[in-house]
Chain A
Amino acid sequence: MDDEILGLVIRAKRGDKNAFGKLYNLYFKKIYRYVYYSIYGHELSEDITQNTFLKAWKSLPSFTVEKGTFQAYIFMIARNLVTDYQRKRKEISLEVIEDTTFSEEDLAEQISREQNKDMVQNVLSGLNGFEKQIVILRFFEELSFSEIARVIGKKEGALRVQIHRILKKLAERLKDYGN
Chain B
Amino acid sequence: METNKYIEKLKKEYLKLSPPKTLVEQGWTELEKSLAPQEKFLSLFVFRRGVLFAVIVLFLSFGILFGSLVQAAQGAFPGEPLYPIKRLSEEVIFLTPDKEKVERRADEIIELTKKGGNKDILGKSIRGYKKTILETKKEILNSGKGKKELDESLNLQEKRFREVIKQQSSEEVREAIEIAREGRNGRDDIDGDRKEEDKKEDRETK
Contacts and interface: CB of A to CB of B under 8 A. Distances in A.
Contact of A62 (B22, B40, B47): B47
Contacts, number: 109
A127 to B, nearest CB: 12
Interface in A2-43: 13-15, 17, 20-21, 24-25, 28-29, 32-33, 36-37, 42
Q: Which size bracket describes the interface of B in this complex?
A: 20 to 34
For chain A, what secondary structure do more than half of its interface residues adopt (helix, strand, loop), or is it mixed?
helix
A167 B14 contact: no
A54 interface: yes
Interface in B15-65: 15-23, 27-28, 30-32, 34-40, 42-43, 46-47
B40 A14 contact: yes
Given A24-B28, A113-B17, A54 B35 contact: yes
A29 B3 contact: no
Interface stretch (A70-78, A79-87, A115-123, A146-154): A115-123
B203 interface: no
B11 interface: yes
A104 to B, nearest CB: 6
A6 B34 CA distance: 23
Nearest to A138: B7
Given A102-B20, A104-B22, A61 B39 contact: yes
A120 B36 contact: no
B14 A28 contact: no
Contacts of B13: 116, 119-120
B17 A36 contact: yes
B15 to A, nearest CB: 7
B31 A171 contact: no
Given A123-B10, A140-B11, A167 B3 contact: yes
Interface of B: 3, 6-7, 10-11, 13-23, 27-28, 30-32, 34-40, 42-43, 46-47
27 contacts: A13-B47, A15-B37, A15-B38, A15-B40, A17-B35, A20-B35, A24-B28, A28-B19, A33-B14, A46-B20, A50-B30, A50-B31, A58-B36, A60-B38, A61-B39, A61-B47, A104-B21, A112-B16, A113-B16, A113-B17, A116-B17, A136-B14, A139-B10, A140-B10, A170-B3, A175-B6, A178-B6
8 A-B pairs with the lowest CB-CB distances in the bound complex, closest first: A61-B43, A15-B38, A174-B6, A171-B3, A32-B19, A116-B16, A140-B14, A116-B13
Interface of A: 13-15, 17, 20-21, 24-25, 28-29, 32-33, 36-37, 42, 45-46, 49-50, 53-54, 57-58, 60-64, 102, 104-105, 112-113, 116-117, 119-120, 123, 136, 139-140, 167, 170-171, 174-175, 178
